[in-house]
Structure 1
C-alpha cells in the first residue's frame, strides 16, 4: 500500500492506494497533479531516508509527502 501525505494548516491527511490497481494509480496521479498545480511541493524518500523533491508522479514511490508553499516576509 502506497501513501500520499498532504500537510496543511490543519495537520495532515493520508491517502492510501494500491500500486497494482490502475484506478487507484489514476486517482493518486490526479491528486499529485492537483496538489503540485496548487503550489504544493512533492517529495519522496531516498533509500537513505532523505527527502527528494519530485516534479512528476512516481507510481513506484511508497510514500509521497506534499507540503504547502512557505510564505514569509
Structure 2
C-alpha cells in the first residue's frame, strides 16, 4: 500500500509542476504577443516626406519661436 501511495504523490507533483509550467508559458506568450513592436514616437506629423532634416524642422510649429537659425542642434 505505501508503494502505491508514493507513486500517486510523485505523479501528482509531476502533474502540478507541468500545469504550472504550461500556465507560465501561456502568460509569457500572451505578454510577448501583446507588446510586440508597440512603441510611440513624438515626431512631428508630415516630416517623413521632407527632403532633409532642416526642411522637416523648419515647418514644425513647436520650433517656430526658437530664435536664430544659424545654430542648429539635432537630437538622435
Shorter-chain TM band? under 0.3
Structure with the higher strand share, 1 or 2: 1
TM, length-normalised to structure 1: 0.25
Question: Which structure has the bigger radius of gyration?
Answer: 2
TM, length-normalised to structure 2: 0.24
- Larger relative CO (CA 8 A, sep 6+): 1 or 2? 1
Structure with the higher helix share, 1 or 2: 2
